[in-house]
Amino acid sequence: MKKYLALFAAISLLGAGCSSPSIPTLTKVDGESSCDGILTLSAAKSMTGAAYIKREATAQSLGKIIVTTCTFTGVSTKEVKPLSILTRQATTEKEASTIFEQSKTASYTDGQTIADIGEQALWSPTFNQVSVLKGKTWLIVTANGQKELATNVARNITPKLP
């Protein structure tokens, strides 16, 4: 339940920070290409040592904001725990920073700082995820409560983010 709550909270922030008086249109973006730029299936297997067999990739834009979700799964969740990566690319670094800071006070009140990843990074025991701010991008890595795995994945893919 927590992972769905966390995912819902992250996706609901898709429109957060939009200051345009008109309502932007939600459109699909090529999720496969977006996820390939973040983490391929073979790279996820190599990085984690997990037997992932499938990657689901989605991407949507709301105006100039792009949200990409890459979810890696195995044959069963008992054998291989899913790995989820969500990025929210804002229109400016200031907007991304503002949204990240708002999330720290609204959702990640238990956030534990992680050093040396992006401009800011934290682990949330409540949501079991690592959140990273880098430039215009907010990265969220969820690895079923596995802090070390989520941190390792975040540390490895953050340099690829715009």
> Is this model's pTM higher than 0.95 or not?
no
Higher-pLDDT residue of 60, 1:
60
Q: How far is CA 129 from CA 2, 43, 67, 75, 143, in A?
A: 10, 20, 17, 23, 7
Residue 31 to residue 42: CA distance in whole angstroms:
17
The domain ranges of the chain are: 26-106
Q: Retrieve residue 62's tokens.
A: 């709301």
Instruction: Find how far residue 94's CA is from the centre of its chain.
Output: 18
Task: Give pLDDT tens digits for 80-133.
Answer: 889 999 999 999 999 999 999 998 888 888 889 999 999 999 999 999 999 999
What 3-state DSSP class applies to 134? strand
Please determine, for residue 158, whether its predicted confidence score (pLDDT) is greater than 80: yes
Amino acid at 57: A
pLDDT digits (tens, 9 = 90+) for 8-67: 444 444 445 444 456 666 677 777 888 888 999 999 999 999 999 999 999 998 888 889
Which of the pair, 147 or 2, is modelled with greater confidence? Answer: 147
Q: What is the pLDDT of residues 67-95, one digit of tens each?
A: 999 999 998 777 788 999 999 999 999 99
Note the pLDDT tens digit of each residue in 146-157. Answer: 999 999 999 999
